[in-house]
Structure 1
């Protein structure tokens, strides 16, 4: 357990990719602060499971990622309960799809706040403590859409491209302090959220389930396979190792070859 004694905070970690991060970190002995929304009983069960896996502590925050004050309170809660974060993973994210001339202004504001600004706030609040310790890992869940664009996703594309810019900037600022800052940029990831979209797409396009998966969701991925949350979490674990100390300011693709095209 190479993360025993370390503390990690993961936003958007009550399901999907974020929960996979939390589980992977706990399995290596880290204290973990979960964050997100969902069924209270299910979240509590996952929190207890993290403690069982880590032999350490896990706590939960329902901080709203659109609210800077709530993010500050979450980081303070983490420091009080678990210690100042050694690892911070900004994973919270939402999506809205519409042509730009029809894109609701409130959706732009919400998406930028959750996908981009919350990562900036989390970073500004944790990086000082990491510098003081001489060790830290900051990871952003970006996307293939941080490197290439798709139509009707102006806010999402902007937010993910923005994460790459923050990562490069802070990586330079912290380069001599033992702190690395990187993006992991997956292609389409197999999560409950994606799976739930399939029936609606089948109905809207008159397609079978296999057609939706292969001709819509996986059309851009040369491997024709979804990225799995556990694969992304494993990648994040490697970035937390001392052997990854020279990887910083990088936007690392995990997209089945999407951005190689």
Structure 2
């Protein structure tokens, strides 16, 4: 499949579970993938795997909370791979505690990574997309944004903000041929979810409860997400913008 042949794709948090699965899928579909991650060795491991499989990718160390790093990484991507066609804002971080047990310093970090970082990426990439009258943006939020999630109050607030921001940017840039959509994972077997289970104090019991509550009967895997992400990024979704799709095995069903 070469649906993204010649397209330059940025995936933030590309060294992690969902990010790496998404980066590989874009590369398999012919995309030139810029793997952004603050953990540069992790990004390089993903790129090494893509290149070994015959794909095209490059790793960029980037802390999305730092605007200067974002600007530098975007400029380096365009110099090496070409103008940005697709942006996937996937990087995220969480603290798993009841809200009253958290501290303002944790709120600041949560907001910086989960909301402000995505704003930096949009602000850096949108002008070029608008000038070219084309672009696809897929923001990875969370079902916590849609229905709430105990122990993730500030994270849920950030992801809810990202949903509202995405809809607004979709309206502002529709005239430029840019679409902006949101994918909301449910519980997914990533390093972040492993931290969530440990924070609960009884990981096995929590895993059993989640599995029972998901109609399809299992926790999500990173490879469950790229299909929806690539759909929104493709020409097949050229008339879809400002939409939110849950990929959660039916845990949440929003009409």
Q: Tell whether the structures are fold-level matches, with TM greater than 0.5.
A: yes
Q: Any idea what SS the aligned residue of 2:10 has?
A: strand
* 1:254 matched to 2:247: yes
Q: Distance in 1 between matches of 2:33 and 2:155?
A: 27
Q: Is the 8 A contact 1:141 1:185 kept in 2?
A: yes
Q: Which residue of 1 aligns with 2:126?
A: 127
Q: Any idea what SS the aligned residue of 1:164 has?
A: helix
* 1:240 matched to 2:233: yes
Q: Distance in 2 between matches of 1:52 and 1:164?
A: 36
Q: CA deviation at 1:193?
A: 4.1
Q: Which residue of 2 aligns with 1:214?
A: 208
Q: CA deviation at 1:133?
A: 2.2
Structure 1 pair 224/136, CA: closer, same or farther in 2 (3 Å)? Answer: same
Q: CA deviation at 1:63?
A: 1.2
* 1:148 matched to 2:147: yes
Listed as ranges, the matches of 1:183-198 within 5 Å are 183-195=182-194
TM-score under structure 2 normalisation? Answer: 0.91
Give ranges in structure 1 of 5+ residues lacking alignment.
none
Q: Which residue of 1 aligns with 2:221?
A: 228
Two-structure CA RMSD over aligned residues (Å): 2.1
Q: Distance in 1 between matches of 2:45 and 2:244?
A: 33
Q: CA deviation at 1:189?
A: 0.7
Q: Is the 8 A contact 2:93 2:192 kept in 1?
A: no
Q: Is the 8 A contact 2:185 2:225 kept in 1?
A: yes
Q: CA deviation at 1:195?
A: 4.3
Q: Distance in 1 between matches of 2:43 and 2:90?
A: 17
Give ranges in structure 2 of 5+ residues lacking alignment.
none
Q: Any idea what SS the aligned residue of 2:176 has?
A: coil
Q: CA deviation at 1:171?
A: 0.5
Deviations 1:98-123 (A, max 9, x none): 23333111110111110111111111
Q: Distance in 1 between matches of 2:62 and 2:213?
A: 34
Q: Any idea what SS the aligned residue of 2:33 has?
A: strand
